[in-house]
Each structure stands twice: as structure tokens, then as C-alpha cells.
Amino acid sequence: MKSLFHLAYNVRDLEEARSFYGQILGCQEGRSAPTWIDFDFFGHEISLHIGEPFKTAATGQVGDHMVPMPHLGVILEYTDWCLVAEKLKTAQISFVLEPTVRFEGEPGEQWTMFFYDPSGNPIEIKGFKDMDKVFAA
């Protein structure tokens, strides 16, 4: 079964979100209204609505790192992940977890990075050299 994921969440400022998601991350803008914007978030739909973002805390332990929970994210092919990491570095985005590899040499080896959007929503982007290993145990 093939599907697309849809997630709607709050941002404080639509123009700031439009700039971040559209210009920095390179997501294509879709439909919009005065109180929300849809984006193609790497092949999935996110709907950003004016409001107070969800509360998060660094309670998720992955390896040696505590990561913000809850968070949203996407898994990309490694070469695409590298392009996004470079865009974020060029835009001088502060990282919660700098672009790095984890589980190196193990099943599920992946590259990851954590950062916040301008409203404080945590985002993780993972990269895999072999997408067939995403669910490897």
C-alpha cells in the first residue's frame, strides 16, 4: 500500500514559515488561505496554521543524544540529505544535533540532523544510503 503522509501543525507567523519552508528547505507551496499554508514536504503534505506550536522537550534518547519530542521529520536518500544539510548550514540554521552519522556499520545506519523551524517546531531529517535498510533490525 502506497500513501502520502499529512500533518497539520501551528506556526506563529505564516510569512516566516513561507520563507523557511519554501526558500530554505525548498518545499513547494500548495494551497493557502489567510490562516494557513500547505507545503509539499519532500513528497508529503504539511499544513501550517496560525497558532501556538506544540510543546516539546528533549526527552527522546537516541544513542548518546537527547532529542526533542515530539518532532516531525522525513527520510531522504543520502545524496538529497547532503543537499538539505548544506542548505541549512548556508542559511546558518542552528542545529539541535549537527548533521552526523549514527548506528555506523550497524543495521539502520543513518545520517541525521535536528533543528527547529522559526516557530520552534522540531524537525529531524534522516538520510539513508540504502532505503531498503530504513526498517532494518
Average pLDDT over residues 4-13: 97
Give the model's pLDDT for residue 136. Answer: 87
Grid cell locating 71: 518532532
Under 8 Å between Cβ of 10 and 37: no
- Condensed to tens digits (0 to 9), the pLDDT of residues 86-127 reads 999 999 999 999 999 998 999 889 999 999 999 999 999 999
- Condensed to tens digits (0 to 9), the pLDDT of residues 49-59 reads 999 999 999 99
Grid cell locating 33: 488561505
Residue 33, Ramachandran bin (φ over 0: left; ψ between -120 and 50: alpha; else beta): beta
CA torsion sign for 20, 46, 11, 113 is: negative
The pTM of this model reads 0.93
Distances (CA, A) of 31 to 34, 48, 115: 11, 11, 25
With 90 as the cut, is the pLDDT of residue 41 above it?
yes
Considering the chain, what is the average pLDDT of its residues?
95
Closest CA to 85 of 71, 101, 69, 72: 101
Average pLDDT over residues 3-19: 97
Grid cell locating 80: 538529497
